[in-house]
Structure 1
Amino acid sequence: MTDESQGQPPAAKSRAPRDFSHAWRALRHRNFRLFFGGQSISLIGTWMTRIATAWLVYRLTKSALLLGFVSFAGQIPTFILAPFAGVLVDRADRRAVLVWTQTLAMVQSLALAVLTLMHRINITEILVLSIFQGMINAFDMPGRQAFMVQMVEDRNDLSNAIAINSSMVNIARLIGPSLAGLIIAASSEGWCFLIDGISYIAVIISLLLMRVKIAEVRRAATSMLVQMREGWDYVSTFTPVRTILLLFAVVSLMGMPYMVLMPVFAAQVLHGGPHTLGFLMGAAGVGAVVSALSLVVRKSVRGLTKMIPIAAAVFGASLVLFGLSSVQWLSMTLMLFTGFGMMQGLTASNTIIQTLVPEDKRGRVMSYYTAAFVGMAPFGSLLAGSLAHWIGAPRTVMFTGSCCILGALWFWSRLPAIRKEMRPVYEQLGIIPPRPVRLVEEQAGN
């Protein structure tokens, strides 16, 4: 069987551009340019809030367990509500869904800002507002992923749009934590929340300026439960999507919660302060940006499947070594590889699923993607916080990183079955050439 990672046919190679202009081809679409502009501003504020919230919780409680619990409380609503949100996204105007989620997220950030700047914030209020944000994310994430197709009319540019979006997220991830560290050290976490709340205005305006074909929104005649079952049947029976989501769930459960423990590493292991936390998260952001840019310059989704287990293994190994380090420069270097592996797997998984999934099930499938990515993280945060409380943060990330490596090995063993089921879809989309009829008949005869 031909591997989808093999090179393009000679004719395709001869037509391929020789520069890197293709790397930004998704930006030729007006709606995606608007989205890019608005999100570039808003995401910096989002990352500032993530760092500020973690540091605020640790400053108020000095507890790794409560760090994990707050993260759990903020993400568990996404796990519970994501399947319902996916059905709504497939039924509703996706742009309208995003306008509402961004508006509510702005209210949440401004509430955090007011309470913190007035010195009236406590752990209970942080928990309540984190739960509220988790409910918003349950609808925002599948809506955002499903809306990508409407922003990029040419499906051939979809993988490039996803890679550019990942680059944008991670450039913000590089800038946001660094700014947050400086602002917290100079004044208060509340200013980070305030900047985040104001930044949502940019993305709301960009969404309202888009020209979206309302005809693309289809009203369903079946019930919500029936549509939920249809989405589950597709995800659970289609081997490529099922296997990718299972590995994704393992990495999100065991690996992603390392971020919850970063304040502990910054303060106790590396003996630093909020600026150290910003440097660590910034280093992970640099690695993620490099990963995203390496995917931006790709011309096709071919070859991404094998990158998923490689990325998971790099991510896991970096976490194991990070747990052994007590030197800041070495820890920052390992964070580069951690960010690279995490983003390579995340973006490759997203791109392949978005390429494979039929349009009428996109919202529902991306809701399961959200559940695997964000929904498993609360359990991982609670697990990481509990383990760190008992055995220490370094041993915790060494254990969770080892689990990611085991997951990568399992996925690699499933690659032949995954490629077999992906091939007909890739042939139908014109991503790979169809096999000769004689070869198909010979394989059928065998």
Structure 2
Amino acid sequence: MSVKDAKVSERKNSPLSPFRHRIFLAVWVASLASNFGGLIQSVGAAWLMTSIGASADYVALVQASTTLPIMLFSLAAGAIADNFDRRKLMLAAQLFLLVVSIALTACTYFGLVTPWLLLAFTFLVGCGTAFNGPAWQSLVGEMVPRSELPAAIALNSMGFNIARSVGPAIGGMIVATIGAFAAFATNAFSYLGLIFVLARWRPVTPPRVLPPETLGAAMAAGLRYVAMSPKIGVVLLRGAIFGLAAIAIQALMPLVARDLISGGPFTYGLLLGSFGLGAVGGAFLSTRLRQALSLEALVRVSFVSFAVCAAIAGMSTTPFLTIPAMSIGGASWVLALSSFNATVQLSSPRWVVGRALALYQMATFGGMAFGSWIWGASAERFGTADALLISAIVLVAGAALGLRFPLPELKTVNLDPLNRWKEPSVAVDIRPHSGPVVITIEYVIREEDLVEFLSIMAERKRIRRRDGARHWTLLRDLENVNIWVERYHTPTWLEYIRHNQRITHADAVVGERLRALHQGPELPKVRRMLERPTGWIATHHIPPAREMADPLTDPVRSS
């Protein structure tokens, strides 16, 4: 390789390579400003709840009310993001957040805020975040090539944590000098830049060949895909446990500042700032650490390091110990969550990535919402220090869980659509909603290939069911034992088309291995049939037949 080629390769592999794409850079900068505002508002909300004399469980519920909507609405938001314009969805979410922030500013300025009203506003902020998250994260794949996706995810995490390292300290100063309403007003202004960038961006998107799925069907498809994807399932489990235990630090941080180290809003801001600064350091170190450690080892280290942070915060009575501990926690936080996020994105094709990310968010933020309530109640009953020590024990147990449920290694597989399948010509005047459709595929398999065939068919079953097939079965001919028939249903002809258009290059490997084992004179024989009840002919008009292409000469290479 020449020196010039080496430099080009280095630029492509650089952690900053996504910044070469102007729209990603513009949205990243605007999101950075919005993140500053959001963190400043978080400081204002948490300290306002503390200052109006609310109990410890109310203080912790500020965090819970922000994360609970993400658990409740993310799947619907992901389904909408996968079926409609992601940019418009993100723009609508930002406008909603702007209106909510303005209303919160006004209510705080005029002294109308009560604990329950503040929780209502933070819940609405969480709703906007729930609909913004899947759209924004899945939009990254439209801004940068898939090969640069991990770097783009790390940059997004770094941007948020740059804001975290400075924003809370600024928020603490604003609250201490002007008041909480000024923090909320600052956040309202911070949305304007991102709204402007999104309104001007006109991405080139491929035309949609098929109509969008209904919301219920799209949500069910997302649930089915994740349920039939073991790699993603492990991420959801580990993410939920990490969110449940690790949120104790953020939920109880105002009480740590006020009660354990006898500080005020500025001290609280410093703790949050130290947490964010550690997260920035973790983002910069993530690439090097992933080269030195396996993904599972990195996540276990993150669990244990966060447990150390929680234990020190619970036992320390001086900011000189608590502040460095928060830096350790911040680094562990970003290493764990960015690893989870990258694994989900690299394990999901574009047609379902929004829903997969939404389910990941639901699991992780659901753990955070439940954990915020648990740690708040624990702090109320046992004290803040004991609640943090209990969370540290849970984090260590979460690291040990990796022995039973390890994370898969990050591998970039080709999940782009295969685009080889063409809708076949049929003899019946079939309509998109005609169904159910029954598909059979006949294979001729030698006895010596049977073990390999059945092993491949187990993977075929998972892929079929994951992509929408129902009632999958494998049949063996009782007269000719070399003949095997794969059989499955789809509810309608339209769903049969969707099922085949979801086949990726990675999935096609399974079909190629099956065709290599098939010993027939031609390709495996495919039959497509429309299921009808026995009384259907008497009550329905039989549609006319028309000439049908021979399925054996059909250029389709995958059924």
TM-score category of the 2 structures, normalised to the smaller one: 0.7 to 0.9
- 1:50 aligned residue: 42
TM-aligned CA deviation for residue 374 of structure 1: 2.1
- Alpha-carbon shift at residue 226 of structure 1 (Å): 2.6
Distance 1:412 1:272 in 2: 40
Aligned with 1:306: secondary structure?
Answer: helix
TM-score (norm 2): 0.70
TM alignment of 1:164-179, pairs within 5 A: 164-179=155-170
Pairs aligned (count): 415
Structure 1's 382 and 69: CA in aligned 2 closer, same or farther, altered over 3 A?
same
**2:60 equivalent among 63, 68, 81:** 68
The one-letter code matched in structure 1 to 2:121 is L
Query: How much does 1:300 deviate?
Result: 8.2
SS at match of 1:375: helix
CA distance in 1, matches of 2:259, 2:308: 22
Greater shift after overlay, 236-245 or 40-49? 236-245
Corresponding residue for residue 99 of structure 2: 107
Structure 2 counterpart of 1:256, from 244, 247, 251? 247
More strand by share: 2
Task: Give the deviation of 1:307 after TM superposition.
Answer: 1.7
Q: What is the percentage of aligned positions where both structures have the same residue? A: 25
Give the alignment partner of residue 208 of structure 1, picking from 199, 216, 220. Answer: 199
Q: What letter is aligned with 2:185? A: L
> Contact between 1:20 and 1:297, CA under 8 Å: does it hold in 2?
no
* Counterpart contact for 1:116–1:189, Cα < 8 Å: yes
After superposition, residues 36-435 of structure 1 pair within 5 angstroms as 36-152=28-144, 154-215=145-206, 220-295=211-286, 303-415=294-406, 418-419=408-409, 426=412, 428=414
Deviation at 1:263, TM superposition (A): 1.0
Given that 2:97 and 2:125 are in contact with CA atoms closer than 8 Å, whether structure 1 keeps it comes out as: yes
Distance 1:25 1:218, change over 3 A: farther
Shift of 1:305: 4.5
Residue 381 of structure 2 aligns to a residue in which SS? helix
Counterpart Cα distance in 1 of 2:321 and 2:22: 43
Q: Which has the higher contact order (CA 8 A, sep 6+)?
A: 1
Q: Distance in 2 between matches of 1:392 and 1:321?
A: 15
CA drift at 1:313: 2.0
CA positional deviation for 1:208: 1.9
Cα 1:222–1:211 shift into 2, 3 Å: closer
| CA gap 1:217/1:371 in 2 versus in 1, 3 angstroms | farther
Q: Do the aligned partners of 2:44 and 2:175 also contact (CA within 8 Å) in 1?
A: yes
* 8 A Cα contact 1:113 1:194, kept in partner: yes
Structure 2: how far apart are the matches of 1:224 and 1:271?
A: 50
Partners of 2:84 and 2:212 within 8 A in 1: no
Over residues 271-292 of structure 1, what are the superposed CA-to-partner deviations in whole Å (9 max), with x where a residue is unaligned?
Answer: 1100110111111111100011
Distance 1:204 1:301 in 2: 40
CA distance in 2, matches of 1:190, 1:69: 20
Instruction: Tell me the residue number matched to 1:7.
Output: none
Query: Which TM-score applies when normalising by structure 1?
Result: 0.87
Q: Which amino acid aligns with 1:66?
A: Y
Q: Hey, what's the Cα distance between the residues in 2 that align with 1:122 and 1:164?
A: 38
Letter in 2 for 1:49: Q
Contact 1:312–1:341 at 8 Å: present in 2 too? yes
Query: Could you say if the C-alpha distance between residues 336 and 182 of structure 1 is closer, same or farther in structure 2, counting changes exceeding 3 Å?
Result: same
CA distance in 1 between partners of 2:251 and 2:28 (Å): 28
- The answer on whether the counterparts of 2:290 and 2:298 sit within 8 Å (CA) in structure 1 is no
Query: Secondary structure, in 3 states, of the residue corresponding to 1:349?
Result: helix
Between 1:123-132 and 1:353-362, the stretch displaced more is: 123-132
Q: Answer yes or no: is the 8 Å Cα contact 1:244–1:349 preserved in 2.
A: yes
CA contact (8 A) 1:85 1:142 kept: yes
Cα distance in 2 between the residues matched to 1:321 and 1:300? 29
- In structure 1, list runs of 5 or more residues that go unmatched: 1-12, 431-440
State the SS of the aligned residue for 1:350: helix
CA gap of 1:217–1:69, structure 2 versus 1, over 3 A, is farther
Q: Distance in 1 between matches of 2:6 and 2:34?
A: 40
Q: Distance in 2 between matches of 1:273 and 1:219?
A: 57
The range that moved more, 81-90 or 226-235, is 226-235
Name whichever of 225-234 and 82-91 sits farther off: 225-234
**Any conservation in 2 of the 1:241–1:353 contact (CA below 8 Å)?**
yes
Alignment deviations for residues 116-149 of structure 1 (CA, whole Å, 9 cap, x no partner): 1222222232122122112212211111111111
SS in 1 for 2:113: coil
Q: Provide structure 2 residue ranges, at least 5 long, that are not aligned to the other structure.
A: 417-451, 456-559
> Counterpart of 2:389 in structure 1: which amino acid?
M
The structure number with the bigger radius of gyration is 2
Cα RMSD over matched residues? 2.6
The residue type equivalent to 1:56 in the other structure is L
How many Å apart are 1:19 and its aligned residue? 8.0
CA separation in 2, counterparts of 1:156 and 1:297?
A: 18
Distance (Å, rounded) in 1 between the aligned partners of 2:76 and 2:85: 15
Matches within 5 A, 1:22-37: 22-37=14-29
Q: Which amino acid aligns with 1:147?
A: L
**Preserved contact between residue 41 and residue 199 of structure 1 (Cα < 8 Å):** yes
| Mean CA deviation greater in 217-226 or 385-394 | 217-226
Q: Deviations over 1:385-443 (max 9, x none)?
A: 1000000111111111211221111124433x835xx76xx45479xxxxxxxxxx9xx
One-letter identity of the residue aligned with 1:63: S
CA contact (8 A) 1:325 1:331 kept: yes
Q: In structure 1, how many angstroms separate the alpha carbons of the residues matched to 2:286 and 2:209?
A: 32
> After superposition, what is the alpha-carbon deviation per residue over 1:184-220, rounded to whole angstroms, capped at 9, x for unaligned?
1112011111011011001111112223123266764
Q: Which has a greater percent of helix?
A: 1
